[in-house]
Amino acid sequence: MKKRYYIVMLRILAPVLAIVLSALISSAVILAIGKSPLQVFYTIFKFSLSRLDSIAIILYNATPLIFSGLAVSIGFRMGLFNIGVEGQYLIGAFFAALAGFAIKGLPVFVHLPLVILCGALGGMLWSFIPIYLKVKRGVHEVISTIMLNYISYSLIHYLIADVFLDRSQKLVEGLGGILTRTPKLPPSALMPKLHVFLGLFGIQLPRHVYLNWFFPLGLLMAYLIYYLLMHTPFGFEIRSVGQNPEAARTAGIKPERVYMAGFLLSGAVAGLVGLSDLLSYFGYMDLDFPRNYGFDGIAVALIGQNNPLGIVLSAILFGFLKRGAEGIQTQLNVPMDTIVILQAVMIMSIVVITKVMNDYIKRLERKESVICSSQNSSLPA
C-alpha cells in the first residue's frame, strides 16, 4: 500500500519537476541576455494571472490548440500520425470562410452552424486523401499528410490572392497595400463572444478580448471524444487497432475500416481548429491567418498524453506561455527570439520529464504487481 501512495505522489510531482527543470534551463538563457530570471518569471506570472483580460486571452489562445490536440490524439490512439492537421485546419477554415461570405441573408442560427459544418467538412475532405491512399495503396500517412500541408498552403494562397480576393478594398490614390484577404463574413456567420454570458456571473471582460463560444465547444468536444474512446464500441475498436492491428484483426475488427472512420473524424475535428480565430477575431481569411496550430497540436497531444483532459490542460499551458511572452516583451524588453527559445525549453522539459517519470512509474507498478501476484497467487486486474 505504501508503494501506491508513492506512485500517486510521483504522478503529481512530474509536472512540478518539469516546470522546475525548465525554469532552471531558461534561467541560464535569461542570464545570458543580461536579464534577471526572477524578474522575468515574476512578470510572466503576474502579467498572465493578475489581469482578467490575460486570463481570458489565455483561454482564447488555448481554444484552437484544444481542437488541434484532440485531432492529433485521435490519430495517435489508432497508431496513426496525423501531421496533416495543419493543412486540414487551413482548408477547413477556408471552407468555413467561403460558406460565410458567399451565402448571405440567412439567420444566425442557420448560418453559423452551416459555417461550422463546412469547416469540419473541409478538414474531413483534406484528411480523406491520405487515409484513402493509406488504406487502399499502403502510402504512409506521414509522407502524404506532410505533402498535403504544403499543397494546402499554396492552394489557400491561390484561392485568397487570386480567386476570392476582396477587390472592394480601397487604396488611397492607388498607394499603399491592400490586405490579401477574402471578403468579410456577415455578422450572421460570426461566433458570439462569451462577454454576455460571463456578464451574468458578474465577470466583465474587456472589449478587446475575443474569447468566444468555441472554448466551451472545445471542452464539450474533449468530453465527447473521451466518451467515444472509452465508452463506445467504436472507441474500443480504435484503441485495439492502436495497440495491435493484427491482434484486432484476429478479434474480428477490420483495421482498414477503423483507420478510415477514425482518420476522417480526426480531420473533421481538425477542420474546427481555425474557426475560433476566423469567426471571432478576423471575420475574414487572409494570408496572415495563424499558422502552425497543427504542429503545436502534436506537442499539445504529446504533453497531454493523448488524454482529452490532459490535452485541455496542456493547451491552456501553451496559451499561458504565449500570453506570458507578450508580457515580458512589452514590460521587460526581452527580445522575441529569446521568448521562442524559452517556450521551446519549457515544452521540451515537460516532454522529457513526463516520459522519464512515466517509465519509472510503470516499472514500479510492474514490480508491485509481481509482488502482489506472488503474494495472492492471483492475477492483478
Partner 1 sequence: MKARKILAASLVLLLIMAMLAGCSNQSNQPQEQQNQGAQESQSGEKLKIGLVFDVGGRGDLSFNDSAYAGLERAAKDFADKIEVDYKEPSEGGQDREQLLRLLAENGFDLIFGVGFLFTEHIQKVAQEFPDVKFALIDGAIDGLDENSNIACLLFKEHEGSFLVGAAAAMKSKTGKIGFVGGMKTPIIERFEVGYMAGAKYIDPKITVYSDYIGTTGDAFKDPVTGKELALKQFKAGADVVYHASGASGVGVIEAATLEKKFAIGVDSDQSLTVDPSQRPYILTSMVKAVDVAVYETIKSLVEGNFKGGYRIFGLAENGVGYAVNDYNKDMISDIQPKLEELKQKIINGEIKVPMDKKEYEEFEKSLNK
**Site residues (vs partner 1, CB under 8 A):** 17, 20-21, 23-24, 27, 31, 35-39, 57, 153-154, 157, 161, 170-180, 207-208, 287-288, 290-292, 322, 325-326, 329-331, 333, 335-336, 339-340, 360, 363
Taking the complex as a whole, the smallest distance from the CB of residue 51 to partner 1 amounts, in Å, to 10
Taking the complex as a whole, the smallest distance from the CB of residue 137 to partner 1 amounts, in Å, to 30
Q: How far is CA 205 from CA 4, 193, 213, in A?
A: 44, 10, 14
Nearer to partner 1, 19 or 114 (CB): 19
Taking the complex as a whole, the smallest distance from the CB of residue 320 to partner 1 amounts, in Å, to 14
Q: What is the DSSP letter of 132?
A: H
Nearer to partner 1, 12 or 336 (CB): 336
CA dist 258 and 237 (Å) reads: 7
CA dist 93 and 91 (Å) reads: 5
Long-range contacts of residues 228-234, Cβ cutoff 8 Å, at least 24 apart: 229/77, 229/308, 234/258, 234/261
Nearer to partner 1, 132 or 153 (CB): 153
CA dist 265 and 260 (Å) reads: 9
Q: How far is CA 60 from CA 189, 190, 191, 333, in A?
A: 19, 15, 13, 24
Taking the complex as a whole, the smallest distance from the CB of residue 31 to partner 1 amounts, in Å, to 7
Taking the complex as a whole, the smallest distance from the CB of residue 25 to partner 1 amounts, in Å, to 10
Taking the complex as a whole, the smallest distance from the CB of residue 39 to partner 1 amounts, in Å, to 6
CA dist 235 and 121 (Å) reads: 21
CA dist 200 and 151 (Å) reads: 45
3-state secondary structure of 67: helix
| Residues 313, 315, 321: CA angle, nearest 5 degrees | 105
Nearer to partner 1, 138 or 176 (CB): 176
Nearer to partner 1, 39 or 307 (CB): 39
Nearer to partner 1, 171 or 381 (CB): 171
CB hemisphere CA count around 348 (13 angstroms): 9
CA dist 116 and 110 (Å) reads: 10
Task: State residue 295 phi and psi, 5-degree precision.
Answer: -75, -40
Nearer to partner 1, 171 or 200 (CB): 171
Taking the complex as a whole, the smallest distance from the CB of residue 208 to partner 1 amounts, in Å, to 6
Q: Are 242 and 77 in contact (CB under 8 A)?
A: yes
Taking the complex as a whole, the smallest distance from the CB of residue 282 to partner 1 amounts, in Å, to 8
CA dist 53 and 124 (Å) reads: 34
Nearer to partner 1, 209 or 272 (CB): 209
